[in-house]
Amino acid sequence: MYKITFYTHAYNTEKYMEQCIKSVLTQSVKDIEYIIVDNGSTDGTKNIIAEYAKKDSRIKAIRFEENRKGFWPKLIKDLAQGEYFSMLDSDDWYEPEFAETLLGLAENEALDIAVAGSCFHFLSENSQGYRKSESKLIVSREAFPSQFEPMYKFFRPVWGKLFKMSMIKNMDFSDYYAILNYAYGADTVVCLKSLSIANRIGISDKVLHNYRVHPQSVSYVYNPNRFYSDTFLFRKAESFLSCFGKISGENYHFLYVVYINAALDTIDIILKENLEIYQKLLEIGKILKEPLTQQAISAANIENDRLKAYRQLLIDLFVNTVKVNSGNKDIVDLACSNILLLNKELSLYVNRDNLSQHFKSGCFLLSAVNLNSDEMLKKAILSLDSKSLSESMWNILTDMFKSNILLSWIDNPDFALHYYYIIAEVFNLRASSALNMIIEILNNGKEIPFEEELLLLCLNVSAAAEDGEVFVFVKKLQTQLFIRQKRFDEAWQALNDLLEMCPEDGDVVTLKKWLEEENE
């Protein structure tokens, strides 16, 4: 048995193959085997592998004539003879002390998995970045949930690690095979599965692995199934954490942020891809419509600057699409649907079918789609002052009012416009604030515009708030109003309500005498 089995599979990486192989063969730990698979390469990769295999008996070279996927778990289970396992991509390389450092860490700390830091070489930018731990981190199984966030970034890829071979050979790879049907994420499900059976892991503070980031990497290329990888990985991480009991709010928040960033990466790729605008809208709509996306945006009150920036970018795209393609109903409908998915508050006022009409009329919605519900409602009502918008906007508002029993009776747009700020308070269930505003108006001694409607609104709100004192006060004012307007039947109805509630009240007794005198 060897101490370590290194494994690489290569496809047309002639340019980097030699550096990769040398970095393994020159490790300070010599008791190794190196399984290298040429996965159907059509360049000089196979010749480089064959040449090194002749020079070093530790190399086991395998050649596939056609490119395959998903074969490595079975191959390692069948052929590997090492005590530990480490994978290396064919365009990457390890530092000479990689094996010695991680092997020492694993043996000294009784680890199932030892992890190294990585240096990322961004080829398109000729720059570097690092994923590393500031200090050595040792985590026992019972602490996996509390350490999940700092651990997770190191457990996205399989490379840069030493695994106990027994873990690999006994592991269930069904999730790995399932995600192969999608775009990416196979490494992550392997890492999550390995964590689910590990008892103790360690992360070195040394950068010992080098990773080339290619702009044409599968992680940066459009694939219609890519988004399914995003949701699949969320569910697998959620499943892993649930093995330890109830998932903490902190861990859920972290998973949502990871998911949102993955979804935004997918959207970014869609936007850059050479697709017809309808197809772009369709693909983005799938992401926005996914319940997990809506949940991730709203749950835990995620404050994500990147999310905010993309939200504005997408709204601008959708709005411009409606303007440019106003004659194409399918495109307009899809763009409007996506706008409503991005702004749930907007759906309180419009639906997909009438939203496009507001774009055509230059409605406030063009500039209000990013406002919160308070401001949006106020702007909606204030737009009644515009002759070009008043009719269509009033239809929207009356539909909205019908869903709120306290406002469902409102049929006067002038009343709504005059008291828009009070209506906004009622709509947003701030009864106390609305009542204070109305009482202040009723007590200021000035003529009250739309007095009857304002009194009715106050009666509805005070009844819902179970504020008997305000209800009686306003019911007295309503009775007075009906008497002054000689609407005696309605006055008697209002007075009877008061007589049932407080028959001995001095004001009620006075109102009764007044009504009897006026109604003779």
As a whole number of angstroms, the distance between CA 162 and CA 168 comes to 11
Beta-strand pair 127-131/2-10: unpaired
Reduced to 3 states, what is the DSSP secondary structure of residue 447? coil
Q: Angle at which helices 249-272 and 305-324 pack, to 10 degrees?
A: 40
Q: Which helix (H) or strand (E) holds 319?
A: helix 305-324
Question: CA gyration radius for the chain?
Answer: 34
Reduced to 3 states, what is the DSSP secondary structure of residue 39? strand
* pLDDT tens-digit series, residues 313-338: 887 788 788 878 878 889 988 988 88
Stated pTM of the model: 0.72
How many of the other CB atoms lie within 10 Å of CB of 56?
Answer: 11
Closest listed residue to residue 307, CA positions, set 365, 367, 262, 374: 262
Reduced to 3 states, what is the DSSP secondary structure of residue 147? coil
- Give Cα 45 to chain centroid, integer Å: 41
Is the separation of the CB atoms in 484 and 476 below 8 Å?
Answer: no
Q: What is the pLDDT of residue 218?
A: 56
Is the separation of the CB atoms in 365 and 346 below 8 Å?
Answer: yes
Residues 6+ apart with CB under 8 A from 395: none
* Bridge partners, 287 (sequence order): none
Structure tokens at 500: 């049932």
* pLDDT tens-digit series, residues 177-234: 999 988 789 999 999 999 999 999 999 999 999 999 987 665 567 788 889 999 999 9
Q: Which amino acid is at 319?
A: V
Q: Name the DSSP class of 133.
A: -
Structure tokens at 264: 């935004």
Structure tokens at 235: 């569910």
Is the separation of the CB atoms in 71 and 26 below 8 Å?
Answer: no
As a whole number of angstroms, the distance between CA 138 and CA 198 comes to 13
As a whole number of angstroms, the distance between CA 335 and CA 407 comes to 31
Q: Taking the CA of residue 60 as centre, how many other CA atoms within 13 Å lie in the half-sphere pointing to its CB? A: 13
Closest listed residue to residue 314, CA positions, set 363, 352, 277, 360: 277
- Each residue's pLDDT tens digit in the chain (520 positions)? 899 999 999 999 999 999 999 999 999 999 999 999 999 999 999 999 999 999 999 999 999 999 999 999 999 999 999 999 999 999 999 999 999 999 999 999 999 999 999 999 998 888 999 999 999 999 999 999 999 999 999 999 999 999 999 999 999 999 999 999 887 899 999 999 999 999 999 999 999 999 999 876 655 677 888 899 999 999 999 999 999 999 999 999 999 999 998 999 999 999 989 999 999 999 999 999 999 998 888 764 556 677 778 877 887 788 788 878 878 889 988 988 888 888 766 666 566 666 665 565 544 444 444 444 556 566 667 666 655 556 666 776 777 788 788 999 998 988 988 998 899 889 888 999 999 999 999 998 889 999 999 999 999 999 999 999 999 999 999 999 999 999 999 999 999 999 999 999 999 999 999 988 887 7
- Give Cα 47 to chain centroid, integer Å: 47
Q: Which helix (H) or strand (E) holds 480?
A: helix 468-484
Q: Name the DSSP class of 11.
A: S
As a whole number of angstroms, the distance between CA 237 and CA 100 comes to 31
Q: What is the pLDDT of residue 367?
A: 45
Q: Taking the CA of residue 62 as centre, how many other CA atoms within 13 Å lie in the half-sphere pointing to its CB? A: 20
As a whole number of angstroms, the distance between CA 202 and CA 133 comes to 10
As a whole number of angstroms, the distance between CA 271 and CA 193 comes to 33
Is the separation of the CB atoms in 90 and 9 below 8 Å?
Answer: yes
How many of the other CB atoms lie within 10 Å of CB of 167?
Answer: 17
As a whole number of angstroms, the distance between CA 360 and CA 366 comes to 10
Is the separation of the CB atoms in 145 and 244 below 8 Å?
Answer: yes
How far are the Cα atoms of 110, 140, 142, 190, 195 from residue 198, in angstroms, in the given order?
A: 11, 9, 11, 12, 5
Among positive and negative, which fits the CA dihedral 136, 141, 147, 153?
positive
As a whole number of angstroms, the distance between CA 173 and CA 455 comes to 69
* pLDDT tens-digit series, residues 450-471: 999 999 999 999 999 999 999 9
